[in-house]
Amino acid sequence: MGERKVTVAAEVGLHARPAATFVKRAKEAPMDISVAKPHGAGPVNGKSILAIMALDVRQGETVVICAEGEGSDQVLDELAEIASTP
């Protein structure tokens, strides 16, 4: 299983527009995607905006994004970039 640890850079955290962009990309992927806080909540379904927003990820916090399957490295890289974009 592939994973990426990412520090969330957006001022609003992983909420609102960043969460919508993240979920939109995750839904395009054919594999399951999960998101968790390293020492807290999760994992939650990375394709559910409600689940992502319920994690209450704030600016500067780290999340772990996991996916498994063909093409998962590219998807994880893209999702990590979305989460780490200010």
Q: Which domain holds residue 39?
A: 2-84
> Which residues lie across from 66 on neighbouring strands?
3, 34
Task: Identify the CATH number of the domain in which residue 63 sits.
Answer: 3.30.1340.10
Look at residue 40 in the predicted model and tell me its pLDDT: 79
Query: Is 39 an active-site residue?
Result: no
Residue 20 and residue 37: Cα distance in Å, rounded? 18
Catalytic residue among 15, 18, 63, 76: 15
**Counted domains in the chain:** 1
Per-residue pLDDT of the chain (86 residues; tens, 9 = 90+): 799 999 999 999 998 899 999 999 999 999 999 999 988 777 999 999 999 999 999 999 999 999 998 999 999 999 999 999 98
DSSP state of 39: T
DSSP state of 30: S
